[in-house]
Structure 1
Amino acid sequence: MSHSNGKPVIGFIGVGFMGHGMAKNIRLGGYDLWVKGNRNRTPVDNLISLGAKEAQSAKEIASNCDIVHICLPNSDFVEQIIRGENGILAGAREGLIVIDTTTADPTSTMALAEEMAKQGVTMVDAPLGRTPKEAEEGTLDAMVGCDDDTFAKVQPVIDCWAGTINHVGPVGSAHKMKLLMNFLAMGYGALYAEALSLGAKVGISPQKLREVIAPSRMGNGFFDTFMSYAVDRNRDAHKFTIENASKDVRYANNMASNAGVVGIMASAVKHYYTHVEAIGKGSDFVPMVADHVARLNGLDLEEEVKKGG
């Protein structure tokens, strides 16, 4: 199916916050690109203006492409797009490679991989590190799960959207790694939120906390983006929804349960995110968990920043 330029034809399903930048960089890398969007036309129209073709279904994408990317909110969506009546498997030919960049449930990934292999389709898990900003710049972190032969085929394509590529191991292993990464990240988020509230209650302002911690050994990139919202009120600091974060921590908890591992921290981390979902604010971004934890403590974090000014 490869184009006259000898490059495989690439499909992309899910051109949201992360997917748009990834798909754009694949297209700019000189690949023929097919996309399937969702309700939001803006990213789709932008990709079409760059020469992408639009498909109406996952089936149409599969039948026109050699390598298909999926970038969706969770495993339920992934299972639907692969198994559905107009799904990928309905249009797949032998030799198709599917790269799932969703932060998915590894149990689901491994079951899908087995099912797809029966049709000669190879599943690759390639979840992402970093934010939509890096997606647009083509410098995401990619964790990849697949065999060595498949890795050789997909690496040049992943290279279009990733700055760092780690081949973690066989299929499913990258999704496991990603759950560990997001357990740590959301754990940090919960810790920072609680520390900000505790600080404010005992007279340490949010900006003073940042000033002391940022240059210390406890500072890190996640701390910086989190505080960019908590202190500077930059709403776009980390455009990752609490609903998605909560799902990732839930998957990490499931992974711990399945592995028979004590998950005291994992279950504690989960509750702040579950709380925000429970009060109907799951579409807020991750750093905003700081505001919600402050409210639980009778504080307004924005006011605390002003007071500390």
Structure 2
Amino acid sequence: MERIGFVGVGLMGHGMAANLLKAGYPVTVIAHRNRAPVEDLVAQGAKEAADLAALARDSDIVHICAPGSPQVEAIVDVLAAEMAAGGVVIDCSTSNPVSSEALAAKLDAKGIGWADAPLGGTPVQAEAGELAAMVGATPEIFARVEPVIASWAGTIAHIGGPAAGHRMKLLNNFLAMGYGALYAEALALAEKTGLGTETFDRVIRGSRMDCGFYQTFMGYAVEGNREAHKFTLTNALKDMTYLSAMAGGAGVANPMGAAVRNSYMLAVNTGGDGGDDYVPHLVDFVAKANGITR
């Protein structure tokens, strides 16, 4: 079987790597700051590499789950130097498509394949092997990585060539982060006009305006579960910044995207901590800006 390397076994990567192990793949992981998920995976049968270069040499296919393109670029620099020709890199991060195209070309020159496979779903779905993957790769590389991705994804869509998956993921996150910005403002209005959050939720929940994202967002706004949707405000801002760059590169006016980005910029610049504050917590920052105490 393909030897799998996994860089970034955090919120999403831990479940993905665990499912690769369950599928019988030999998996090599590497620690970053938090050792707990690495130690758990080693207990399940994974091997821990001493460094990234060693992981690259021991792997046929390397998954990357990193915060964004700068980190992915630094990781690929090492993989390009150390992986054997014939290997494949799968970037599961939400990355800048311009960077992804350049990385695919850089790896191709070394005889190494590329697939971008950004994720749809939550850490709970990652643990259950039920993520969605939006894959950008050549047909040949997609055919090779599809059975590997199937070990951690319930839905796999081949979008197109390299970087196509990252373009689709940015559009997906534009919708999701847009929902979050709308919900936060709607709840502020509900509170300010005397309707209240509970009344708003009672009417919307179960209606045509309900959806999975609404329910996880309201898991915090209504039920107070701080971990109902563990996607940080800083990651939301990063993704909307990549979306703005993609729109600019395509020559497309993106006023709604700018408005959504500004909502997350407000939160991050007024105390939103990417380590502790998640997208549903945007409701608190919008409320505070409007003089509302939650």
TM-score between the two structures when normalised by the length of structure 2 = 0.98
The structure 2 residue matched to 1:253, chosen from 219, 244, 247, is 244
Give the structure 2 partner of residue 3 of structure 1.
Answer: none
Give the structure 1 partner of residue 12 of structure 2.
Answer: 18
Matched-pair identity in %: 50
Give the structure 1 partner of residue 30 of structure 2.
Answer: 36
Give the structure 1 partner of residue 116 of structure 2.
Answer: 125
Aligned to 2:150, the other structure's residue is in SS state helix
1:158, 1:119 → 2: CA distance?
Answer: 23
Deviation at 1:205, TM superposition (A): 1.3
Give the structure 2 partner of residue 205 of structure 1.
Answer: 196
1:225, 1:300 → 2: CA distance?
Answer: 22
In the alignment, residue 56 of structure 1 is paired with which amino acid?
Answer: A
**Is 2:140 the counterpart of 1:146?**
no
Deviation at 1:151, TM superposition (A): 1.2
2:165, 2:198 → 1: CA distance?
Answer: 36
Give the structure 2 partner of residue 158 of structure 1.
Answer: 149
Give the structure 1 partner of residue 287 of structure 2.
Answer: 294
2:145, 2:201 → 1: CA distance?
Answer: 41
In the alignment, residue 173 of structure 2 is paired with which amino acid?
Answer: N
1:67, 1:189 → 2: CA distance?
Answer: 35
Deviation at 1:56, TM superposition (A): 2.4
Note the 1:1-309 alignment, pairs <5 A: 7-83=1-77, 87-283=78-274, 284-301=277-294
- Deviations along 1:85-144, one digit per CA (max 9) or x if unpaired, are xx1112111101000000000000000100110000111000000110101111001101
Partners of 1:59 and 1:89 within 8 A in 2 = no
Partners of 2:114 and 2:141 within 8 A in 1 = no
Partners of 1:18 and 1:131 within 8 A in 2 = yes
1:260, 1:253 → 2: CA distance?
Answer: 10
Deviation at 1:157, TM superposition (A): 0.9
In the alignment, residue 286 of structure 1 is paired with which amino acid?
Answer: V
2:50, 2:99 → 1: CA distance?
Answer: 25
Aligned to 2:169, the other structure's residue is in SS state helix
Q: Which moved more, 1:141-150 or 1:189-198?
A: 141-150
1:79, 1:150 → 2: CA distance?
Answer: 20
Deviating above 3 A after TM superposition, structure 1's stretches of 4 or more consecutive aligned residues are: none
In the alignment, residue 108 of structure 1 is paired with which amino acid?
Answer: S
- Deviations along 1:50-92, one digit per CA (max 9) or x if unpaired, are 1111112222111111110000000000001111xxx111211
Partners of 2:5 and 2:56 within 8 A in 1 = yes
Deviation at 1:218, TM superposition (A): 1.1
Pairs aligned (count): 292
Structure 2 residues not aligned, in runs of 5+ = none
1:204, 1:77 → 2: CA distance?
Answer: 45
Deviation at 1:163, TM superposition (A): 0.7
Partners of 2:132 and 2:155 within 8 A in 1 = yes
1:102, 1:271 → 2: CA distance?
Answer: 22
2:226, 2:31 → 1: CA distance?
Answer: 25
Structure 1 residues not aligned, in runs of 5+ = 1-6, 302-309
- Deviations along 1:153-209, one digit per CA (max 9) or x if unpaired, are 111111111011111111100000000000110000000000000011111111111
TM-score between the two structures when normalised by the length of structure 1 = 0.93
Q: Which moved more, 1:274-283 or 1:63-72?
A: 274-283
In the alignment, residue 281 of structure 2 is paired with which amino acid?
Answer: M
In the alignment, residue 247 of structure 2 is paired with which amino acid?
Answer: A
2:270, 2:168 → 1: CA distance?
Answer: 30
Deviation at 1:214, TM superposition (A): 1.7
